[in-house]
Amino acid sequence: MSFVTRAMSFLADFFLSVVRSRKILWELTRQDLRQRYLGSVLGILWAFIQPLITILVFWFIFSVGFKSQPVKDVPFILWFISGIIPWFFISDALQNGTGAVLAKPYLVKKIVFQVRLLPVIQLMSSMAIHLFFIGILIVFFLLYGHYPSIHWLQIPYFTIGAIFLLLGLTWFTSAVTVFFRDFGQLVAVVVQLGFWVTPVMWSFDIMPEKFWPYLKLNPVFYITEGYRNAMLGSSWFWQFPEWTIYFWVFSGITFFSGAFVFARLRRHFADVL
């Protein structure tokens, strides 16, 4: 059986397992969102309050305090939030997905539950929060007089791309973290570094052109810049074929590599949990 055939078979089996387990996945997602903020007065609201406060603080500092100039002929705050909102999703999903197996060890020993779906639960939790912030993003654009554009239809495409990439990453990181608990801290450090390396708060146009190819090696750059281009109505993803091909090849390798590592280590989870 060729690699392509096996890959397609794995994808079909995986998506079928998600569909068959949708009820328990939804229930575990709701449980995960509650447990994240268990004991706090505002509970799950903190999942929305913290990123929203971050956005408002940056808006006040740059728009009111520093009176930042428009970027690409749009207000700085619109340019900024259209990049940081997908970053919030990616960073939250990656960090929580890394601890997916450790967070629910009781499910590892249940034969009827497919353990490979554990990172999916964390991903769904982050996705629920992300959908709220997409709504916030749209509200900001409307308040500043930027009305819906046909380019906005690209948002689901870039969201699917982020999910595909994150699944591969979290399969790998969650499996490795079971055996090396410090790996989760390493992922957190990489995420912090990634915030500054990825053009979220700064435009890659300010960098010398010779550095652009290196910046584009970061797959998260494709997502954040894709959201920006979609919301600002500046371009379509197919206008950058080399960039798009690179992202999907990189994400495909990450997806199947992550699935392979998770499957190989899965048999040893119960011995160390």
DSSP string over 136-179: HHHHHHHHTT----GGGGGHHHHHHHHHHHHHHHHHHHHHHHHH
For the cut 90, the answer to whether the pLDDT of residue 156 exceeds it is yes
More confident residue, 273 or 66: 273
What is the per-residue DSSP string for 110-131? -TTS-GGGHHHHHHHHHHHHHH
Closest CA to 256 of 42, 58, 8: 8
69/239: higher pLDDT: 239
Q: 29 in a domain, yes or no?
A: no
Pair 36, 104: CB distance under 8 Å: no
* 38 domain-assigned: no
Does 177 or 270 have the greater pLDDT score?
Answer: 177
Please check whether residue 154 is in contact with residue 86, taking contact to mean a CB–CB distance below 8 angstroms.
no
Q: Is the dihedral of CA 254, 199, 90, 79 positive or negative?
A: negative
Q: What is the pLDDT of residue 34?
A: 77
Residue 267, pLDDT > 80, answer yes
The number of folded domains in the chain is 1
Report, in angstroms and rounded to the nearest whole number, the Rg of the chain calculated over CA atoms.
Answer: 19
Residue 160 inside a domain? The answer is: yes
Specify the residue for token string 């584009």.
Answer: 216
* CB 132, CB 88: distance < 8 Å: no
Question: Is residue 95 assigned to a domain?
Answer: yes
pLDDT the model gives residue 70: 65
- Could you list the residue range(s) of the whole structural domain that residue 106 is in? 43-272
CA distance 50 to 62: 18
CA distance 110 to 233: 48
Instruction: Name the least confident of 5-14, 115-124, 127-136, 196-205.
Output: 5-14
Of the listed ranges 51-55, 197-201, 239-243, the least confidently predicted one is: 51-55
Residue 111 has pLDDT above 80, yes or no: no
In a domain, 238, yes or no: yes
- Contact of 98 with 170, CB cutoff 8 Å: yes
Task: Give the Cα separation of 216 and 85 in Å (integer).
Answer: 19
Summarised one tens digit per residue, pLDDT across range 30-79 is 888 777 765 555 666 766 777 788 778 877 777 666 666 666 678 888 88
pLDDT for the residue numbered 205:
76
The chain-wide mean pLDDT, for the chain, equals 84
pLDDT band at 2 (very low <50, low <70, confident <90, very high): low
Which of 59, 127, 72, 56 has the alpha carbon at shortest distance from 97? 127
With respect to residue 147, please indicate whether it lies within any of the assigned structural domains: yes
User: Which comes out higher in pLDDT, residue 54 or 173?
Assistant: 173
What are the residues facing 74 on neighbouring strands? 71
Model confidence at 253: pLDDT above 90:
yes
Task: Identify which has the larger pLDDT, 259 or 40.
Answer: 259
**What mean pLDDT do residues 225-249 have?**
90
Could you give the CA distance from residue 70 to residue 65 in angstroms, rounded to a whole number? 14
